[in-house]
Amino acid sequence: MAFNHYILVCGGTGCESSNADKIYKNLKAAAEGHNIEKDVQIVKTGCFGFCEKGPIVKVLPEESFYVEVKPEDAEEIIGEHIVKGRPVSRLQYREAGKENAGIENISFYQKQVRVVLRNCGFINPEDINEYIARDGYAALEKALFSMSPDDVIEELKTSGLRGRGGAGFPTWRKWLFTKQVEDADQKYVVCNADEGDPGAYMDRSVLEGDPHSVLEAMAIAGYTVGASKGFIYIRAEYPLAINRLKIAIAQARELGLLGDSILGSEFSFDIEIRLGAGAFVCGEETALLASIEGERGMPKPRPPFPATKGLWDKPTVINNVETWANIPVILTKGGEWFAGIGTESSKGTKVFALTGKINNSGLVEVPMGTPLRDIVYNIGGGIPNGRKFKAVQTGGPSGGVITADNIDVPIDFEHLQELGSIMGSGGMIVMDEDDCIVDVAKFYLEFTVEESCGKCAPCRIGGRKLYNILDKISKGKGTAEDLEKIQSIGHAMKRASLCGLGQTAPNPALSSMHYFADEYRAHIEDKNCPAGVCTDLVRYTVIEDKCIGCGLCARKCPVSCISGEKRQPHFIDQDKCIKCGECFNACKFDAILRK
Amino acid sequence: MAKLNLEALRKLREENKQALEIRDTENKTIQIIIGMGTSGIAAGAKQTLKAFTDLLRERNLTQVSLRQAGSIGLDHAEPVVEVRMPGMPDIIYGKVDPKVAEQIIEQHIIGKELLNEHVFDRPARDIVQD
């Protein structure tokens, strides 16, 4: 027999440390006290996020959401809510004085609004019927039979959708430029699926979970701008996404949703896949188009923009996967609905790939303007092992850091730019106190140097120079002039590089220097790495008073540089030590000093 | 399949809508949905899928349909499985290895009880249904 109620007690690390276990036991005892243990099941769950408001208790099926529950509240939850059916209002979560405008019926505690990811994890991506059942191809149907191309552009304009590839250019305007070219015998529609930022994988997830949404949107664009051919440029490292796209294209063709005279209308449109070899620069639109044409993927100066002179010099609409995935919803639910989500200048939602030092890593889709604090603490579940939050890198190798001081700034295109970062594709890498900011900046520079195509000197030479300076600083050989050099080289690259890769490559270094100047100075002046990451600046020594001589560190040491008698303080041979930190992690008595 | 015209597409959508709600076309009232995105597969979703397939066959549970989907985005909890059945709330289970898969069959589907320690929160409401 099934239960009438289910009580879920969050058992994440955060709630666990604030008495969740006691709450769980008290609830069970209270249920038994009322003789209703047969009607209600009480379980502990995985982390619900929302750790700031923990411990969390949720009651199903009515979905009551209780926050900051204390063990002594258990009796009231059982007695009032379960027995008498009156939810305990003083414990219920309330939004602090704000309602998400435009979405009245959104569940009151959930921070996420899933527009782009609406079907991911729910439909079978390899079965077109399931997509159709979820209003799939209804937007294409609407466009073809009840809207003119101008209507579609007007709807996009109302929605306020801006490009999700990172730069945020208004999508309607891009489409309009292409539509307005009249003397072209051929136009193209291109999907940029060359997601290359370290730590970003939202485009991959959309293509793996809901490939038809991209196909449908591209067909709508074809109808709107007068293009009959589309290309999806996707990196070969995404075999599963490629496979599902192929299946989706085949199924759409079979049903006549792609191909000649779609749904019996006069509009014909077909899509082909082009594989990229995984060069980061090929995510830049002009380099991407060169790559589709079979050239080496290198950027070209803009203007002319692809919208008027793109693939094989024909007018080309090129948008990123996430931008495409928004479009069917905008047509089916209306631009007004979409514009009701987000901020004044940035409408809709943004998908972030939350990774790094965070409890609940994963894909997060939130309305634009959501503060970072909500993402890190309410959805991400905070920092593991009780470490301190240090910063978040947004926008990957082209972006910058957001520090604890700015954790309440609403995240949208403008605010991120003000902070010296960018929206970028939506990678969000969380760092804690154990991450060295110089090391992180060096990592990104290493990446952009590796990925620079070498066409223009500022990026090719400047990037390498920047990397060398950072490397020097991380080895304790930096000087005060080096910081000035980073500034001047960085700003020159920003001004003179040919494409976005070079223009934004200095961002991680410039941004981290701006916010963590003291950490750079510690590396240069004190020859010290506060986080203990830069191996050349770290020394591990045994604190003799604390060492009990258990020998655990010696057993863990991979180079056997620790010696000592049993029950006597041990000793680390600095000449042999490779500074791996194994001893530091192994010691249970904090007897190893790292500095 | 024939090429769709407008009418046929609308008809197909209605038919599939009901089927997706509950697949009683083949008397399948219970759905187990497994996340098979890259992150799920990397965490072992294929083994989980195989465990479910074997278990359903062994126990002759013909009313259960196994479905595959993309990633729901709870990467920290992969492999993620959603169970939908009449008389029970829709539940998302995380960290479902073959052993937990067996518990889901035994305890949730047959015993109508939730599993301890494996329930995760739904990330967001469904905008398509709203």
Interface test with A, best of B14, B128, B129, B130 (most A CBs within 10 A): B128
Domains in chain B, please, with CATH?
A: 28-123 (3.40.30.10)
Longest CA–CA separation in chain B, Å: 49
Whole-number Å distance between alpha carbons of B79 and B42: 9
Q: Which of B73, B75, B87 faces A2 most closely, judged by CB atoms?
A: B87
pLDDT in tens, A344-354: 999 999 999 99
In angstroms, what separates the C-alpha of A237 from chain B's closest C-alpha? 11
The residues with which A191 forms a beta bridge, in sequence order, are: A232, A319
pTM for the full predicted model:
0.91
Interface test with B, best of A212, A251, A360 (most B CBs within 10 A): A360
Give the number of residues written for chain B.
Answer: 130
- Residues forming CATH 3.30.70.20 domain(s) in chain A: 539-594
| Architecture category of domain A5-105 in CATH | 3-Layer(aba) Sandwich (3.40)
| A331 CB-near residues (< 8 Å, 6+ apart) | A139, A142, A143, A147, A152, A155, A220
Place of tokens 């304009």: A157
Angle (CA) A155-A116-A239 rounded to 5° is 125
CA A230 to chain centre: 27
pLDDT in tens, B89-112: 899 999 999 999 999 999 999 999
Contact (Cβ atoms closer than 8 angstroms) between residue A532 and residue A538: yes
Pairing of strands B64-69, B30-35: parallel
Residue B120: strand, helix, or coil: strand
Per the rule left: phi > 0, alpha: psi between -120 and 50, beta: everything else, A553 is alpha
In angstroms, what separates the C-alpha of A484 from chain B's closest C-alpha? 41
For residue A502, give both structure tokens: 């070079």
What pLDDT, on the 0 to 100 scale, is given for residue B66?
92
What is the chain A residue with the closest CA to B73? A363
Closest CA to B114 of A86, A34, A11, A378: A11
For residue B44, give both structure tokens: 């072992």
Closest CA to A20 of A50, A64, A62, A61: A50
Whole-number Å distance between alpha carbons of A211 and A125: 6
Tell me the CA distances in angstroms from A456 to A23, A104, A285, A509, one per residue in order: 63, 51, 16, 20
| Architecture category of domain A349-432 in CATH | Roll (3.10)
Q: Which residues of A193-214 are buried (b: 16+ CB within 10 A; e: fewer)?
A: bbbbbebbbbbbbbbbbbbbbb
Give the number of residues written for chain A.
Answer: 595
Q: Is A494 exposed, middle or buried (0-12, 13-18, 19+ CB in 10 A)?
A: middle
Q: Residue A235 carries which DSSP code?
A: E
The amino acid at residue A520 is Y
Whole-number Å distance between alpha carbons of A567 and A528: 32
pLDDT in tens, A480-534: 999 999 999 999 999 999 999 999 999 999 999 999 999 999 999 999 999 988 9
Whole-number Å distance between alpha carbons of A116 and A329: 8
DSSP secondary structure of A333-395: H-HHHHHTSB-SSSBSEEEEEEEES-SS-EEEEEETT-BHHIIIIIIS---GGGPPEEEEEES
Residue A528: strand, helix, or coil: coil
CATH number for the domain running over A437-525: 1.20.1440.230
In angstroms, what separates the C-alpha of B13 from chain A's closest C-alpha? 5
Tell me the CA distances in angstroms from A129 to A220, A246, A252, B15, B126, one per residue in order: 19, 16, 10, 9, 18
Q: Would you call A132 and B16 a contact, using CB atoms and an 8 Å cutoff?
A: yes
Whole-number Å distance between alpha carbons of A105 and A87: 19
Q: Could you count the other beta carbons within 10 Å of the beta carbon of residue A323? A: 23
Q: Is A305 exposed, middle or buried (0-12, 13-18, 19+ CB in 10 A)?
A: middle
What pLDDT, on the 0 to 100 scale, is given for residue A84?
86
Q: Would you call B38 and A11 a contact, using CB atoms and an 8 Å cutoff?
A: no
What is the chain A residue with the closest CA to B6? A263
| A257 CB-near residues (< 8 Å, 6+ apart) | A128, A137, A140, A215, A216, A219, A263, B4, B9
Q: Would you call B71 and A49 a contact, using CB atoms and an 8 Å cutoff?
A: no
CATH number for the domain running over A539-594: 3.30.70.20
- Residues forming CATH 1.20.1440.230 domain(s) in chain A: 437-525
In angstroms, what separates the C-alpha of A216 from chain B's closest C-alpha? 14
What pLDDT, on the 0 to 100 scale, is given for residue A99?
47
Whole-angstrom Cα Rg for chain A:
28
Across the range B13-22, mean pLDDT stands at 75
Whole-number Å distance between alpha carbons of A571 and A561: 8
Residues of B in contact with A256 (CB under 8 A): 2-5
* Under-70 pLDDT residues of chain A: 1, 95-109
Angle (CA) A461-A463-A465 rounded to 5° is 70
Q: Could you tell me the fold of the domain covering A128-338?
A: Rossmann fold (3.40.50)
- Residues forming CATH 3.40.50.11540 domain(s) in chain A: 128-338
Q: Residue A403 carries which DSSP code?
A: E
Our CA dihedral for A120, A121, A125, A128, rounded to 10 degrees, sits at: -80
pLDDT band at B23 (very low <50, low <70, confident <90, very high): low
What pLDDT, on the 0 to 100 scale, is given for residue B22?
56
Whole-number Å distance between alpha carbons of A243 and A249: 10
What pLDDT, on the 0 to 100 scale, is given for residue A90?
82
- Residues forming CATH 3.10.20.600 domain(s) in chain A: 349-432
pLDDT in tens, A204-233: 999 999 999 999 999 999 999 999 999 999
For residue A544, give both structure tokens: 């003799």
